[in-house]
Each structure stands twice: as structure tokens, then as C-alpha cells.
């Protein structure tokens, strides 16, 4: 890999914000998208950061992603809301859904918010972190375009749909689980292809069903599930909650955002937001109990060769703290491509090495 170019998070945010506004995204919604993309880069989820901006812009230009539709919630009950995203950014729909969930949960203790007719919403952890910042626990489900066969099959039918769960903690930090039902997210394959790198064995199969370390061949083939039938079952669950129950596309009906630029994606999301201290004595009691659990897990006797036991979200949080100080690494080619995207949009914002 070529030497990294370090970009500050502030610079990356302003850069993304400028491009989005130049393509008709209003400031408040552009901020949601830019914040989500930069947070992914900060937390080391480079596969879902600002490098994906060009893909979203292409869909705006093709008329299948609406930068500014009218959006309103349909209240199905006092604690259940439904949002028709009208083919806008999944980031916008997801942030609005979590915020609505917090609003409802502040009154009733719990909320379920479903979203239909949306698009790829990026890093799932961003939505549960948005709830955690306000003291709420959250679950975020989404479905995705077909990339993985059901267990025992060879045809791609299920998505690499990530699930995210977040619970606020105390001094030991929060619990943030963000995982895909596949061995690796498809974004990692695209990142490897973009950088000319190979992928580890066991990630994917090529078109002929053979194991491959070539990311281009993997993108034409299928992803492999974690734990065999378990990963396949999780992917089905995500399609049920994210698509079937939300009145969005499902069962392989979600369109690939890169391969199909003539039709909306039809992605669905499902969120639950709740007060995590409801069955406990207080928020302080919640923090103490979370500290106990996280502390015991991290101090567990280590297996041979293990230097440190980490809890879900800990690596990403450490990475975020580091990159907020040192900058976000990009390759020179990535920076060149992003700066060309800015120029094409008429933006004066450019990414420049912080050093």
C-alpha cells in the first residue's frame, strides 16, 4: 500500500458537507450524512466512510436517490412509528428514526421505528451510538442487496445486513456490537479492490463457487456466512425485520446500489430505542452493573497468546480517540479521487495532508 495521507475529521466533515450541498442536499440532512461517513472513518470502518461518497452522488445524478424529499412519520401506535424514506439517504432516514425513537422513549420508555423505501445506511454502530449519547439503549437492523446464499444453496439471495446493539455504560465505557452475518462485510471487499489488495481466504467464493483471495472475483461471486447456518439464519432475521416487516423490499428484492443505478434500492430499517434503566434502581445502578460486566470480561484469565481481552466496540472507540488526534489515513489515490469528486461538484473544499 502507498504511504498514508492523514486527513483531520473536521476537514473530512467540511469536505463531505460541501459536496452534498452542491448536489441539492439541505444543510441539516447533509450534516447527518457527513457526520455518519466521518464517524465510520474515525472508528476504523473505512469501508463505510467518505470513500463511498461518490457512489451516493452517482445515485443522485441518476435520479434514484432523492436528496431532499418531504419526510414525515406515520404513528401506528403511541410507541410505534413508520417512516417512508422516499428514496433519500439511508443516513438521513436512520438518524431521523433514532431521534424519533428517543422522543417517544422519553415519554413511554420504549419505541419501535420502522423505515421503508430507504437506501444503504452505512455503519450500523452510528445509530446506536446516537441513542447512547442521550442515555438510551438501541437496536438497529437493516436489510441489504443479495450477496450471500442461504445455507446449503449456491445462489446469492440474502444480504450482508449488519446488526447493531448499543447499551450505555459507566466508567468502563459502553457496549456497542456492530456485526455482519458474513465473515466480512462486502465493503471490505470493495476496499481491497479499490486499493489493489488481496482478501483473506474464507471471505468469499468466486462465480464458480471456488474460494478466492481476489476481491474482484469475490464481488462477482458470493460472501460466506459466519458459523455456517447460524450466519445464514441471522441474515434471514435481518431481512425479516429490515424488509419484510417494514413494508420494504425483501427476499432478494433490494437492488445493489452499484450494479443497478436505474431503480431505487428499496432498503428497509428497523429500530428499537428504550430506557435501559427501566428494570433497575437508577441510571447509576445501570452504570455500575455495566462496569462490573465489562470489567470482568476484560480481566478474565487469558488464553495462550492473547495479550488483551476486549469488549465489543472497544477497538473502534480506541481508534476514534486516536484518529481524532492523529487524523484519518487515506491512500494518495483515494484523496485524488475524492478531490476530483469535489471539483466535479463545483466545491472548493479539498482534502490536504494535515502534516
The tens digit of pLDDT for each residue in 209-234 reads 888 999 999 888 888 889 989 999 99
Q: What angle do CA 72, 68, 63 make, to 5 degrees?
A: 120
The pLDDT score that the predictor gives to residue 1 is 45
Give the residue range(s) of CATH 3.30.1370.60 domains in the chain.
70-182+225-299
The pLDDT score that the predictor gives to residue 187 is 76
The pLDDT score that the predictor gives to residue 2 is 60
Taken as a whole, the chain contains a residue count of: 355
Q: Is the dihedral of CA 301, 306, 311, 317 positive or negative?
A: positive
The pLDDT score that the predictor gives to residue 194 is 82
Q: Is the dihedral of CA 20, 25, 30, 34 positive or negative?
A: negative
CATH architecture of the domain 70-182+225-299 equals: 2-Layer Sandwich (3.30)
The tens digit of pLDDT for each residue in 136-157 reads 999 999 999 999 989 888 889 9
Q: How far is CA 64 from the centre of its chain?
A: 20
Q: Which residues contact 30 (CB under 8 A, 6 or more apart)?
A: 16, 17, 20, 21
Give the residue range(s) of CATH 1.10.1530.10 domains in the chain.
1-61+326-355
Confidence band for 10, pLDDT divided at 50, 70 and 90: very high
Domain covering 1-61+326-355 in this structure, CATH number: 1.10.1530.10
Residue with the larger pLDDT of the pair 190 and 83 = 83
The pLDDT score that the predictor gives to residue 3 is 74
pTM, full prediction: 0.93
Q: Which residues contact 153 (CB under 8 A, 6 or more apart)?
A: none
- Least confident range from 13-17, 98-102, 208-212, 298-302: namely 208-212
CA distance 236 to 186: 17
Amino acid at each position: 500500500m502507498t504511504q498514508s495521507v492523514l486527513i483531520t475529521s473536521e476537514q473530512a466533515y467540511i469536505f463531505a458537507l460541501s459536496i452534498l450541498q452542491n448536489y441539492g442536499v439541505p444543510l441539516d440532512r447533509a450534516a447527518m450524512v457527513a457526520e455518519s461517513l466521518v464517524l465510520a472513518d474515525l472508528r476504523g470502518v473505512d469501508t463505510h466512510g467518505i470513500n463511498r461518497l461518490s457512489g451516493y452522488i452517482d445515485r443522485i445524478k441518476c435520479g434514484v436517490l432523492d436528496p431532499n424529499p418531504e419526510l414525515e412519520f406515520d404513528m401506528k401506535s403511541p410507541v410505534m412509528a413508520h417512516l417512508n424514506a422516499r428514496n433519500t439517504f439511508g443516513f438521513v432516514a436512520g438518524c431521523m428514526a433514532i431521534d424519533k425513537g428517543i422522543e417517544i422513549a422519553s415519554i413511554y420508555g420504549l419505541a419501535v421505528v420502522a423505515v421503508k423505501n430507504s437506501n444503504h445506511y452505512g455503519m450500523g454502530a452510528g445509530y446506536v451510538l446516537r441513542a447512547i449519547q442521550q442515555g438510551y439503549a438501541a437496536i438497529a437492523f437493516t436489510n441489504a442487496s443479495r450477496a450471500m446464499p442461504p445455507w446449503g444453496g449456491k445462489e446469492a439471495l440474502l444480504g450482508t445486513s449488519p446488526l447493531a446493539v448499543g447499551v450505555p455504560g459507566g466508567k468502563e465505557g459502553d457496549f456497542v456490537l456492530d456485526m455482519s452475518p458474513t465473515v466480512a462485510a462486502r465493503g471490505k471487499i470493495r476496499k481491497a479492490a479499490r486499493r489493489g489488495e488481496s482478501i483473506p481466504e474464507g471471505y468469499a467464493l468466486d462465480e464458480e463457487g471456488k474460494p478466492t483471495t481476489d476481491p474482484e472475483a469475490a464481488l462477482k461471486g458470493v460472501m460466506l456466512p459466519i458459523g455456517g447456518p447460524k450466519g445464514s439464519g441471522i441474515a434471514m432475521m435481518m431481512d425479516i425485520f429490515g424488509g419484510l416487516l417494514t413494508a420494504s423490499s425483501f427476499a432478494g428484492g433490494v437492488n445493489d446500489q452499484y450494479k443497478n443505478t436505474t431503480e431505487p434500492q428499496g432498503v428497509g430499517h428497523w429500530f428499537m430505542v428504550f430506557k435501559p434503566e427501566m428494570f433497575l434502581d437508577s441510571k447509576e445502578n445501570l452504570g455500575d452493573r455495566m462496569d462490573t460486566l465489562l470489567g470482568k470480561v476484560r480481566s478474565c484469565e487469558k488464553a495462550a497468546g492473547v495479550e488483551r481481552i476486549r469488549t465489543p466496540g472497544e477497538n473502534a472507540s480506541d481508534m476514534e480517540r486516536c484518529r481524532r488526534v492523529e487524523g484519518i489515513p487515506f491512500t494518495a489515490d483515494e484523496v485524488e479521487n475524492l478531490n476530483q469528486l469535489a471539483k466535479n461538484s463545483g466545491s472548493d473544499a479539498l482534502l490536504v495532508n494535515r502534516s
